[in-house]
Chains A and B, each alone.
Chain A
Amino acid sequence: MTNPTLAAGAVERHLRAQRDTGRGLLMPYVTGGITPGWTDCLRAFADAGADAIEVGLPFSDPTLDGVTIQQASDLALARGASTRRILDDLSGLPDLGVPLVASTYYNLVLHDGPEAFCAALRRAGVTGLIVPDLPVHEADELTGAAADAGIEPALLASPATPQPRLAEIARHSRGFVYAVSLMGTTGERAALAASAAELTGRIRRVTDLPVLLGFGISTPDQAREARRHADGVVVGAAVMRRVLDGAGPDDLRVFLTTLRQALDQECDLPR
């Protein structure tokens, strides 16, 4: 079922095009400003076959993040990272060929107002946005401003979301639907949660937007398994734990290539 009122922007267009080739989608995450040369990570992600790149704008109180992203946010802020500086860094980059998706908490969106915030994202070449503490019933204030600026805000769906609300989320989500695999915070887990398959199945019943599964996906095996249910995966804490342990862009490229290969293997199987 397509949504005829949806004018697909860059994120959705790109993700749909990649999905239509049968490819499993990969969206790695990096906390903006985490290291002096942090934008080199974006190049490494693109080289490793990312289909979109999530750039975290660190917030002082990341209530939905586990300890890894909390530490990454604290470190970036301690280094002087701010929305403005991170977007300045992005503005100077050549086109990576994959859409950039900013993610942050609503306080930072509200700080200068959704209009100014979205316009600043757009000027920096960012086309997507994830705000984990902005549920669909509060999102009106952002969605109008985002549409005007050409930003696609993707909404999150959770295993606890009732079916009628899932339909509402799908209707208002832009770019893709972010499926939260489990009832918990971000962070690496030993296994993909059982709730992931059930949730992605329920989302598929209400939309054909790309569905990216995130929270806890940390290994090639988990990515392969996630691919059986969703169009692709978001990998955040597994990347940032490596960064916190000292990994550089080359190390991240190697790690993400293993995820890329896992997703590619899985796509050979009939879905």
Chain B
Amino acid sequence: MRDVLPWREPAPPDGTMGEPGARGRFGEYGGRYAPESLVEACREVGEAFREAWADPGFRGALARLLAVHAGRPTPLTPALRLSEELGVRLHLKREDLTHTGSHKINNVLGQALLATRMGRRRLIAETGAGQHGVATATAAALLGLEATVFMGERDIERQALNVFRMRMLGAEVIPVTSGSRTLKDATSEAMRAWVGATGDSHYCIGSVIGPDPYPWMVREFQRVIGDEARAQCAAELRTGVPDHVVACVGGGSNAAGTFAGFADTPARLVGVEAEGGAGAARGRLGVLHGCRSLFLQNGDGQITQAHSIAPGLDYPGVGPEHAHLRDLGRARYVTVTDDEAVAAAVRLARTEGILPALESAHALAWVIRAAGGGELPAGSTVLMTLSGRGDKDVAALKELL
């Protein structure tokens, strides 16, 4: 299994994307800004994760689950026809081919396995579009855990099929009626639920956000994307390492996992945000949902609502490590519009026969724009993580196209 999943201990020379610093910090970001009632629970998760991650038994069990249940490793697909049109060499890391259809399963299997190791019997999760909720319900069913998923009332209306999926998998889906009734409110409600249930429940956060150890732990569970891609690029690219590594960023978990595999290479890292949810590109220092990072705020310091056609990018902030990578200049964060993302999705469908999730289409939209605008010189090699499949977005696209 170690050959299939090339676990490497992260030790980049500049220290980026290794373990967080003291008090869970990535530069000035991160930390554990949790209510006192959750501090002890966060400490327990952190300790359990550190122990598990150093335990070959745990890693082996997770690698096996990822292989036999989630279908890893995922292929690296050269996008031949599109590459020819764009004049660059584009390779797609196919997270859309995992079980449940997105990278979310990587993190969830890790956390669910950790929860069983900690003796927890229930997973609590938040979900926006429902991808993380479906993945959580799936992992819970697989490992015999209960699952309670909080989902904004507005998202429940928009994503009825995923709600049904979760319920079919045995999860309890609780509508959230507070605030904007979307992902940020579902996250708040999941945290509130955890406060009252720390003894028997594990809070399975879906992105690289939240109090320490979550941003670190979720990135480590997602680094399988970057580690696999690194090995696949080494085998398949003449240059060994791609010139650019591109991924979409909502909270930033697929990007964090992808970047982690390339942080110590010369590859340029690019995170692509939605125009209406650009926490890294346009956020301001703040604290929300347990961590210090960059968040969209109004002039009074109130968190504002993100807007994106891709529900997974509908979060008004970004994970703390991305904020740090931005400050360091190690990664660059750019934005694309809804229209660009939709056009990119259609183009990939018609040139490669792949219907991407609208989230992933954001990453592709930047590649298309950058190739056209000369930012990606002719012949550049680009690795792009295709974080999920587009089936969930077909109904929304049908309205538009």
Contact = CB atoms under 8 A, between A and B. Distances in A.
Interface of A: 59-64, 66-67, 70, 74, 77, 82-84, 105-108, 110-112, 132-138, 155-162, 165, 169, 180, 183-185
Contact of B179 (A74, A138, A158, A180): A74
B287 to A, nearest CB: 4
Interface string B264-301: 00000000000000000000011111101001010011
B41 A160 contact: yes
Contacts of A136: 36
Interface stretch (B192-200, B338-346, B391-399): B192-200
B183 to A, nearest CB: 11
Contacts of B286: 107, 110-111
B302 A157 contact: no
B124 to A, nearest CB: 14
Contact of B290 (A84, A133, A137): A133
Given A59-B302, A82-B300, A184 B196 contact: yes
B358 interface: no
A185 B303 contact: no
Interface stretch (B26-34, B154-162, B238-246): B26-34
B35 A135 contact: yes
A110 B195 contact: no
Nearest to B188: A63
B196 A185 contact: yes
A156 B35 contact: yes
Of the candidates B23, B195, B286, B301, the one having the most CB atoms from chain A within 10 angstroms of its own CB is B301
A134 B33 contact: yes
Interface string B11-50: 0000000000001000000011111111111000000000
Chain B interface mostly: mixed
Of the candidates B34, B37, B39, B286, the one having the most CB atoms from chain A within 10 angstroms of its own CB is B37
Interface string B158-189: 00000000000000000000110000110010
Nearest to A117: B301
A64 B301 contact: no
Contact of B23 (A137, A158, A183): A137
Contacts of B368: none
Given A60-B179, A107-B286, A138 B32 contact: yes
Interface string B140-154: 000000000000000
B193 to A, nearest CB: 9
Contacts of A108: 300-301
Given A61-B179, A82-B300, 14 more contacts: A64-B195, A66-B192, A110-B285, A111-B300, A112-B301, A133-B35, A134-B33, A135-B36, A138-B23, A157-B36, A158-B39, A160-B198, A183-B37, A184-B196
Contacts of B185: 61
B32 A135 contact: yes
Nearest to B196: A184
Given A156-B35, A183-B196, A107 B300 contact: no
Given A61-B179, A137-B32, A180-B37, A107 B303 contact: yes
Contacts of A107: 286-288, 295, 297, 301, 303
A165 B34 CA distance: 15
B36 to A, nearest CB: 4
B371 interface: no
A108 B298 CA distance: 11
A169 to B, nearest CB: 8
A236 B184 CA distance: 24
A74 to B, nearest CB: 7
A133 B40 contact: no
A132 B41 CA distance: 16
Interface string B39-72: 1110000000000000000000000000000000
A-B pairs, 10 with minimum CB distance: A111-B301, A82-B300, A158-B37, A60-B302, A158-B36, A184-B196, A106-B287, A160-B40, A64-B35, A107-B286
B209 interface: no
B118 to A, nearest CB: 15
B188 to A, nearest CB: 5
B185 to A, nearest CB: 8
Contacts of B289: 61, 63
A184 B34 contact: no
Contacts of B188: 61-63
Contacts of B39: 135, 137, 158, 160-161, 165
Contacts of B195: 64, 183-185
B139 interface: no
A5 B185 CA distance: 41
A174 to B, nearest CB: 16
A45 B23 CA distance: 40
B41 to A, nearest CB: 7
A198 to B, nearest CB: 14
A61 B185 CA distance: 7
A201 to B, nearest CB: 17
Nearest to B300: A82
B334 interface: no
B234 to A, nearest CB: 41
Contacts of A138: 23, 31-33
A222 to B, nearest CB: 19
Given A111-B301, A160-B41, A180 B287 contact: no
Of the candidates B36, B178, B287, the one having the most CB atoms from chain A within 10 angstroms of its own CB is B36
B263 interface: no
Contacts of A161: 36, 39-40
B288 A61 contact: yes
A83 B301 contact: yes
B254 to A, nearest CB: 24
